[in-house]
Structures are given as C-alpha cells and as structure tokens.
Structure 1
Amino acid sequence: MTTSRRTFLLAATAGVTATALSSTPAGAHAPSASVSGAASPAGDVVGKVTVGYQGWFAAPGDGAPINGWWHWSPDMSQAPRPGASSAKSWPDVSDYDRTYPTAMPDLNGGGAAALFSSWDQQTVDTHFRWMRENGIDTAALQRFNPFGSEGPTRDGMAQKVRGAAESNGRKFYVMYDVTNWTSMATEIKQDWSQKMSAHTSSAAYARQNGKPVVCVWGFGFSDDARPFDAPECLDVVNWFKQQGCYVIGGVPTHWRTGNEDSRPGFRDVYHAFDMLSPWMVGRIGSSGESDSFYTNVNTPDLADCAAHGIDYQPCVLPGDLQAGQRAHGDFMWRQFYNMVRLGAQGIYISMFDEYNEAHQIAKTAETAADVPAGSGILALDEDGTSCSADYYLRLTGDGGRMLKGQLALTADRPTPVRP
C-alpha cells in the first residue's frame, strides 16, 4: 500500500523566527480575487474553496480491480476488525445505497458496523452532492503512483469523479502525490500525456487563467519518501507549464525559509509554480497555533508569493478528531478567519474524506452510539457538544462564503452545530 502524505506529520512548529509583515486589519474584508499583488483573477481555484479528495476506499465485492479492503484495513484481504482497522474516524453511512459489513462489533446503538466503497458511483455522486449542497467549489483528486497494482483502480476513480463533478456542477483536477514514486520524473509525464490529460476535455475540469489545473504535491520535502533533487523537480514543473497547464505546488510548510520540513536549494522550484499550497496537517492543532502561523508564516508567505506573481492557497483543516483538536468547529473557523483576513487567493481543505487520519469534513458519526462497540473511536460530540453528521460540510460552506465576500469577515463562528 502506498504511504500517504497524511502519515508524514511533523509537530506544530513553535518559536518561528520569521518577521511578521503588515496584514489586512482584523475588521476589514478583502475578497481574494482583488487582493493587492494577486497574480490571477477569480477562476476555478482562485477565489474558491478546494477540497482534497482521496477516493481511495474499497471493499471486496464492489467490483474494483484492487478487490480488497483498500485503506479500510491494514491487510486488504481481511475485513476491518478489532485491533486491525485503518479507520481512525468512523463515517456516517446513512446516505449510501450500498455498504459493506466489516468484522467490527456492532455499533453501540445497534446495527452492523458497515463501511462504504469509493468504487460505487453512488458513493462518489453522494460526495459531490454534499459539495454542491454546501457550496464547495472544486475537488483535487489525489493520484499516487499509478504504475503499480493500484493503478487500474485509480484510473477508474478518475472517471467516476469526472462523472460526479459533471452531474453536480462541481469542478475537479488531478493532484499528483509523488510519495514513494521512484520513477516519478518520467512516469508522471507519461501518465498525464496518455491518461489524465484526456479529462481536461470535460467542462467540469478545473481551469484557471484559461488553463487546465494540475497539482504536484511533495516536491522539496526533506524526507526519504520524496528524495527528488531540485533540477528534476523544476523540469517536471516546467514540463507541465509547457503543456499549457496552470500548475499548483503542494509544498512544505517552510518552503520560503528552506528549512525544517523543506530541503534547501528549492526556491527556484517553488517560484516556478503558478500557485503554492503549503501543507499544514500536523503543524497546528489549536486556534492559538493558527494565530501564530498567521503572523509568523502565512503573512510573509503571502508577501513572497505576491512579489513573485504566484497565487497563494493555504490549507485549512478541521483538526484531528481523535486527538480532540476540533473544539466543535472553533479551530477550523479560526483558520478560515485568519486566511480570509490575510487575503489568501484560495483555500484548500485538508481533507474531504480522510477518515484514516481523522481529518475528514465528510459526514461522520455523531455520537458514541454510531461507532463500533469497544473501538474507542471518538464521534463528533467528543468534547460534549452535539454536532450533526454534516456539520463540517456546513462550516466549510460558510467559510467559503466569507472567502467570497458573501459573508462579512467575522472571528465568531456563524455555523450552528446542528441545522
């Protein structure tokens, strides 16, 4: 199984020494498309909310080529069971026409502990319907190395996402993750040319500045899973731009300073992208830490991007539900507030369906009655506040309205925990 970037977490950085630059006053609202120094007008990513979409869950009997409990179990040949489940958070599955029984105990409130498969078109259609109902504009389809055993399933998922985006009036684009992709430098070009570029013919494929959007996540990270050097990374970025693409870089948190999670010597690579989206999962876990990053990291990041004609798409995350970070939405709302008052050109939500790392905004078990007995999995009411299964979808919708100037800038979360 390919190692996910979600497993590559660093502790939130303390004592950042970067000097804070001037920022938008807390009470002012500057719509993202008109920020001073913004490189691009509003499009399918600038001025929009994008969600990272895994689409990587499967189960035996769903018809997927991978034919196993993909990302639901550490052993795909075995159903999730006590002590051997990859689901850190438990989904609410009430909207799915088809689910798959696991070997987990029944739910505390009664009923089988069943899971969905991303391979079912109805599942993907449901996810994109949730996006439509909550004003989420664009989905970045995660695409890891497609040349191994997962390739046929990932190819099929791209087609399913395309269909769901078309039928729900949403946009999507391909987001390559280069984690553990040994032959990435040549194979990523082959995959785009021979397979993924065909999806740009869809009216639902995201475009920015008239160009099809593609993202490459992982260049410059200082870990062994992404060992690529700067020249080969720069070659890939420039190649995609030569194909006429608008290229987003999913880059290290400390891309600008070239230290901590970033390799040194990558500034030319980072500055070659049309948009930068620095990774944030594992870096912050509270509103106070979000405020610190706003001052010491996000503000100078945006200034650097503006100076180089690059759009800025920071991450906003709901928080690790199982680590008690969410504060019934206050943590996520503080990030929305900080990024909108900053003047970010767009926002990237990490992630839509990341049940493996408990950072999902998709519908989630509301109470202990909705999780398998004895599992220890926390539900959305873990801090004593009752939240509806779709709460983080609705909160994301409100954050998007604030980004677009449809909701006045406010530090007070407007989203009720229950509709």
Structure 2
Amino acid sequence: MAVSRRTFITSVMSGSAIAAVSGTELISAMTSAANAASPVGDVVGKITVGYQGWFACPGDGAPINTWWHWSQNGSQPPSPGNTTIVAWPDLREFTRTYPTAYANLGNGQPAALFSSYDQQTVDTHFRWMRENNCDTAALQRFNPNGGEGATRDAMAVKVRSAAEANGRKFYVMYDVSGWTNFQPEIKADWTNKMSAMTASSAYAKQNGKPVVGIWGFGFNEAKHPSDAAACLDVVNWFKSQGCYVMGGVPTYWRAGINDCRPGFIDVFNAYNMLSPWMVGRISTAADSDRFYNDLNVPDQAYCNARGIDYQPCVMPGEVTARHRAHGDFMWRQFYNMVRVGAQGIYISMFDEFNEGNQIAKTAENQSMIPVNSGFLGLDEDGTVCSSDYYLRLTGDGGRMLKGQIALTPVRPTPPVVGGGGGDTNLARGKATAESGHNQNFGSPNIVDGDPNSYWEGPNNAFPQWVQVDLGSAASIGRVVLKLPPQSAWQA
C-alpha cells in the first residue's frame, strides 16, 4: 500500500535555506537573462493539480477490491476507529456511493463515500477542474508492479477519458515512494504502458514534448531511493525518450539539508522543471512570507540562471488542523508565488482527503459530516464557505498567474458566491433572549455553532419566540433558520 506524504519529514530550519547559493551567485542569477524560461505550454504558465485517483470501495469493480485509501484495514468499512482521512468530501454530485460504518451525517443522511474507480467520479472531478480554471492534472502513479497495479492501470484510462471530455490536460507523475527497484521498472512501465497515453490529445506537452513527472528523488527519508546515480540515470533516460521531465523535489533541494539528502544537486539540475514540496512545511500566511524570502526567491533565481522552469507548490491547508483561515492562507501563497515570477503553480492536491489538503468539494459544516467523527467542515473558523470555495480560489489564483487579474495580496474570492467579502454568521456567540425554554434547551444553544444543540420552547404551546442581540447595527444578507439533525432531535 502506498504511503501518505503526511509521513514525510516536516522539520524546517529557519535561516539555513540559502546555504547552497553564495551571495555573489545569487545576485548574478537574479540579474542574468542568459537562459530564458520556457514559453507558455501545458505546465508553464498554467495551474497543475496533483490528482491521486486512489480511492476504491468493495463492490465498485476495481481489481483491488478493498477500501483503498479510505480505511487502515481495507477489509472493513471506514469508521472513526478505522480511517485514513482527515476531511469529509461533499458527495452531493456523485451518482454512486458506498455506505460506511460511520454514524449518519448531521443532517440525518447515511454516511457514504465515493470510489475513484467509478468513471462518473473522475468525470465529475475533471468537470470541476474545467469549471474552475485548473489546466492540467498530474496523475500520481506509484509502483504499479504490486497488488495496486491493475487498478492504477485502469485509473490512467479513466483519467484520459475524463481529461479528453472536459478539455483538460493530464500527465503521468511517477511517485517513487517505497519503490526499491525503480531504475529498470519505471523505464519498463513507461515503455510498455504509460507512453501510449501520449497519443491522447489531452496528454500534456511542454516545449513540444510530452510531460513526465518524477516525485521523490532526493528526499531524506527511508522510503525514497538514495542512489543519486540511479536517479540521474532515470531522469536522463526520460529526456532521451523525448520527454520534458518535471521533478517533485524536497523543500531544501538546493542546500541538501533538512528534508533533502546531500549529493543530489546534479539530479535536480537535470530536470526541466522543479517543484519543491511544501505540505507540512508551512501552515500560516506568515510562514508563506518567510519561505518566500528564504527559499522561493533564491530558488527562482537559481532556476532562472540555469534555464530550469520553477513550479512551486500552493496548498489550501489541512481542515482539521485549522490551517485554512477561510482562504487567506492559500491566497497568500498564490500572491507570493506569482510575485516571485514562478513559471507555473502546482496545487497540492486536488483529492488528497488523507492529508486534508484537498481543493475538491468538501463538507461545508457539521450537517454534511458524520456525527461524532471528529472531522471539521470548511466553516471551522466561523466563516461560512461553500463546498467549492477552494476550487474557486484556485481559479482566481490561476487568473492572477496568467495576468488576467492584477497581482494582489487581497483575496478576491468570496467564501460564498455572491457573498462579497464572505458570509459571516453574525449571530454566533451573541446574546440571546427567549419567551422560555424546556429543560436545558435554552436560547444560547442557537448561537453556539453546534448543529446538535438547539433551543426548545416550553409546554408544547405556541406562540414562542427567541431573539439574538447582534450588539450593533449590521447589514444583513440573509436569515437562516436550521433544524437540528434527526440524530440530535430524534423523531
């Protein structure tokens, strides 16, 4: 079973990032125009999203026939004690779902999940990409020679079909995590299987060459290959096959420290495009600013001086860890990566519900999440966000990258469509009054943000009333009155 990138080293050392580039070299690189960046293509000047496509469920027809990437024990349905995910997807647009062992959602509906093996799932995901300005999908391909191989082969076909139908581009990104015999096997897989995908009109090309990604060379972690010569051989082999090779590399790739093994700089220099990994490295807008100064600026200068295209990561942040700040965290990264002059942006990731960094439609609030699951909705900080908010935010980030909107540090995307600066629950936590209540179901329950608590009037008699004091005059966009979920209110 492929491992989540959550397990990778996340240590960072402030101030050590520029160690591999001298001051003279940095100044020279920043002023040199000796090697111009590649022209706009399918990855340069575009938004690329990492696409896992690795969720399966028993009964979906997938050869793997297990709760693939949903459960720790794949023979048993997902539950609070048997799960690998940290966020809950919005399932409203999927025509086929699979029941789990979670409690019902807060709205009383059964808790079910999707399978990536269903073509309708992939079609829906790529439609969302089309609707939200996501240009290219990097299909993750782990070692296909084990029990996952047949399912991964089928997923490549499904992704090709969805990309063609939705006018999106895609390419194969090999993830070498745990792939010990990668040197001959990755070449054989490309020659015998994946190179056929380049015949598709949807297969991504850059500089007239098919794009291939390799993620994981040089990471200072036991699950990644440590033979620099073997890694360099693979990169150069793909280039000899006429490919444009993108490398997913450690955060500290230039310096060979922290998450990066020393001795891999020749491997990194051989890539056509570099995309340093950032998940687990930053969690606030201030972190993004620090990394911009310490890493992104010298990274970009180094790449410019050597004719390497630079494609840094942008991520929404993990929901349950409360990183997202209703989009401000992600937008600051977009702003920093556009102003640094990046040739493209890589979104980490589209459907990564295991790490919680997905931009795919996600549960908005507790009514869309299994009761007592521990998951949080996109409204976890009190700001109401539509389930497609991070898709829309990505769309606007792409427009800024392409110069279609001006460079701005101010997020232009409202958390809810038509919400201007974003819908806010003005009543939450404010003072209340009431005509009376039954037992302990008092009026403060209506402003506590918990869908499972509620106010109940006394004596089963009408009229009854409840009132909220907003504290000051406010402009009201709408009034929403919600009933508690059936699980809290019973019948």
TM range (shorter): over 0.9
Q: Is the 8 A contact 1:72 1:80 kept in 2?
A: yes
Aligned to 1:168: 166
C-alpha change, 1:17 and 1:352, in structure 2 (3 Å) is closer
The secondary structure found in structure 2 opposite 1:323 is: coil
Q: Is the 8 A contact 2:135 2:168 kept in 1?
A: yes
1:179 to partner: Cα distance: 0.4
Deviations 1:190-247 (A, max 9, x none): 0000000000000000000000000000001111101331100000000000000000
Deviations 1:8-31 (A, max 9, x none): 140354344528967xxxxxxxxx
Aligned to 2:304: 306
The secondary structure found in structure 2 opposite 1:174 is: strand
Please list, as runs of the form range in 1=range in 2, the aligned pairs for 1:44-83 lying within 5 A after superposition: 44-83=42-81
CA distance in 1, matches of 2:199, 2:266: 31
AA partner of residue 196 (structure 1): M
Q: Is the 8 A contact 1:38 1:311 kept in 2?
A: no
Q: Is the 8 A contact 1:251 1:278 kept in 2?
A: yes
Matched-pair identity in %: 68
1:39 to partner: Cα distance: 2.4
Deviations 1:56-99 (A, max 9, x none): 00001000000010000001110001211112100000010100
Tell me whether 1:214 sits opposite 2:212 in the alignment. Answer: yes
AA partner of residue 2 (structure 1): A
Please list, as runs of the form range in 1=range in 2, the aligned pairs for 1:336-355 lying within 5 A after superposition: 336-355=334-353
Q: Which moved more, 1:331-340 or 1:103-112?
A: 103-112
Aligned to 1:6: 6
1:2 to partner: Cα distance: 1.6
Q: Is the 8 A contact 1:12 1:285 kept in 2?
A: no
The gaps in structure 2 that reach 5 residues or longer are: 28-32, 418-491
Aligned to 1:18: 18
Tell me whether 1:257 sits opposite 2:255 in the alignment. Answer: yes
Question: Which of 1 and 2 has greater Rg?
Answer: 2
TM-score by length of 1: 0.95
Kindly indicate whether structure 1 or structure 2 has the higher relative contact order, using CA contacts under 8 Å at least 6 residues apart.
1
The secondary structure found in structure 1 opposite 2:67 is: coil
Tell me whether 1:227 sits opposite 2:225 in the alignment. Answer: yes
CA distance in 2, matches of 1:7, 1:366: 27
Q: Is the 8 A contact 1:316 1:332 kept in 2?
A: yes
CA distance in 1, matches of 2:355, 2:162: 25
Please list, as runs of the form range in 1=range in 2, the aligned pairs for 1:171-250 lying within 5 A after superposition: 171-250=169-248
Q: Count how many residue pairs are aligned between Structure 1 and Structure 2.
A: 408
1:299 to partner: Cα distance: 0.4
CA distance in 2, matches of 1:327, 1:233: 39
CA distance in 1, matches of 2:12, 2:316: 15
Q: Is the 8 A contact 1:328 1:385 kept in 2?
A: yes
C-alpha change, 1:36 and 1:342, in structure 2 (3 Å) is farther
C-alpha change, 1:60 and 1:158, in structure 2 (3 Å) is same
Aligned to 2:130: 132
Please list, as runs of the form range in 1=range in 2, the aligned pairs for 1:113-152 lying within 5 A after superposition: 113-152=111-150
CA distance in 2, matches of 1:316, 1:13: 20
AA partner of residue 18 (structure 1): I
Q: Is the 8 A contact 1:13 1:283 kept in 2?
A: no
CA distance in 2, matches of 1:240, 1:17: 30
Aligned to 1:28: none
CA distance in 1, matches of 2:4, 2:143: 11
CA distance in 1, matches of 2:196, 2:17: 45
CA distance in 2, matches of 1:114, 1:95: 13
